[in-house]
Amino acid sequence: MAGPRRKSGGAAAPATPEAPASRRRSQRASTSAQKSKYFEPDSESEPERDEPVSKKRRGRGTPAAKPKKAKKARLIPPDAPSDDDGDDYQEEPEDAKQDADESDEEFDEDAPPKVTFIPLPKLRDTGGIEYADDRLHPNTLAFLKDLKANNKRTWLKAHDAEYRRALKDWESYVMSLTETITILDPTIPELPVKDVNFRIYRDIRFSKDPTPYKPHFSAAFSRTGRKGPYACYYIHLEPSACFIAGGLWHPDAAALARLRASIDERPRRWRRVLNDTRFREIFLDLSTTTTFEKTDKGKTKAKGKKQLPKEKQEVDDEPPEEAAVKAFAARNQEGALKMRPKGFIPDHRDMALLKLRNFTIGQKIPDKVFTSAGAVGETGDVGAVVGALVGFVTHLNKIVMPDPDEDDEDSDEEEGD
């Protein structure tokens, strides 16, 4: 007996309930500004509102934007005629158009460039005096005087021709003076001008004086020129301030130690050098000889002796040798020590010399000496002043930079001094 047949198909799945017509609205407030599509406004009754633009948050380090300035409205007088279409444009006046046309003509690129010629100053007249190698021309001193009054780059650039002529005159004079110095002091070699002449330009990097040029010409003659450890002869040309000098300016520590040792060990040699006849008369203003004449009353009176200041009178009261030492120390007080140097007793008889840091001496020379013919020669005024420095400069060089084959003169007689 056949059993009941099973249905081939599976059991029918239960019917799925239909989705509700409307979803439940969330109770959380929406942060989006977008409207739901289910609430569209009517085209006629309710106009569509613009979506608000979200403001960008400013960062902590971002500066606030500056408000834009409102453009100024153009004021139109009430009685001005107005067009029917409401256009407020007004034509510019004729004066403004004329000014604009003139400005266009000034900056016209096609127009030829305008060039303004500024004439350079002419060279100063020589006054009938020719330039020579053995003397300076008065125009050279006049140029230095003008440079001091107009110490600017623009002025020197405009007077470049005058500067070149004055510099050439000075260099030729230096070459003539070199020949004289090499004859008076054979230890000085004949060097080119560039090794003895100082430049006119100043180094103003660490100076409070902003003037770019020196108002003078100068040169230094030594065994190595204007630079080196040797004592030198110095020539300074400046209107109303010319002078000739020599010696050692700011020697280094080793040279200064040798100089102090020489003062301590050989004081008689220093006194002999400082008491040279021409050196005393020219640089220390100390006369070695005095002539006397008898008056009507039988008294003797000094003849030709100048009235000296009180300080120099005190120096003259000292013995001749000590007077020269004190006068030399008094002229080198710039930069001298206030206390005694180490290694020397307090009551040293030459303490005034031991305290010195500069060993220089100079004498002021009138301007007319440099402009007179023959002054640069050996027997001329300039040659006589330089010749009086030879013994002093040679003495310093023997101490600071002694020659290896040089004998130590007078060493036996000064051992016990």
Q: C-alpha angle with apex 249: 245 to 253, nearest 5 degrees?
A: 155
Distance (Å, rounded) from C-alpha 168 to C-alpha 173? 9
| pTM over the 0.85 mark | no
The C-alpha angle with vertex 263 and arms to 245 and 388, in degrees rounded to 5, equals 30
Range of the domain at 366: 121-249+359-417
Residue 131 CA: distances (Å) to CA of 125, 170, 372: 12, 11, 12
Which pLDDT value is given to residue 321? 82
Examine residue 188 and state whether it is found in any structural domain, yes or no: yes
Share of the chain above pLDDT 90, in %: 55
Measured between alpha carbons, how far is 330 from 231 in angstroms, rounded to an integer?
20
Mean pLDDT value of segment 82-103: 55
| Through-space distance between the first and last CA atoms of the chain, rounded to whole angstroms | 167
- Residue 328: inside a domain: no
Arithmetic mean of pLDDT, 337-356: 94
8-state DSSP, 249: S
Nearest to 274 by CA among 388, 412, 382: 388
Whether residue 185 is contained in a domain is answered as yes
Name the token pair of 174: 């230096």
The tens digit of pLDDT for each residue in 233-287 reads: 999 999 999 999 999 999 999 999 999 999 999 999 999 999 999 999 999 988 7
Instruction: Please report the pLDDT score of residue 182 as a whole number.
Output: 96
Give the model's pLDDT for residue 201.
Answer: 95
Tally DSSP H helices, then E strands, for the chain: 13, 6
- Mean pLDDT over 75-93 rounds to 52
Within-domain flag for 327: no
- What is the tally of structural domains in the chain? 1
State whether the Cα torsion 359-188-398-388 is positive or negative.
negative
Residue 306 has pLDDT above 50, yes or no: no
Span 120-134, pLDDT tens digits: 788 999 999 999 999
Instruction: Give domain status of residue 10, yes or no.
Output: no
181, 233 Cβ separation under 8 angstroms: yes
Residue 353 resides in a domain:
no
| Phi, psi dihedrals of residue 320, rounded to the nearest 5° | -55, -45
Q: Is 150 a domain residue?
A: yes
74-88, 116-130, 174-188: range with lowest mean pLDDT: 74-88
Q: Is the pLDDT of residue 150 over 70?
A: yes
Flag whether pLDDT at 197 surpasses 90: yes
Q: Would you give the DSSP letter of residue 201?
A: B
pLDDT at 1 over 50: no
| Domain assignment present for 330 | no
Please state the rounded mean pLDDT for residues 160-172: 96
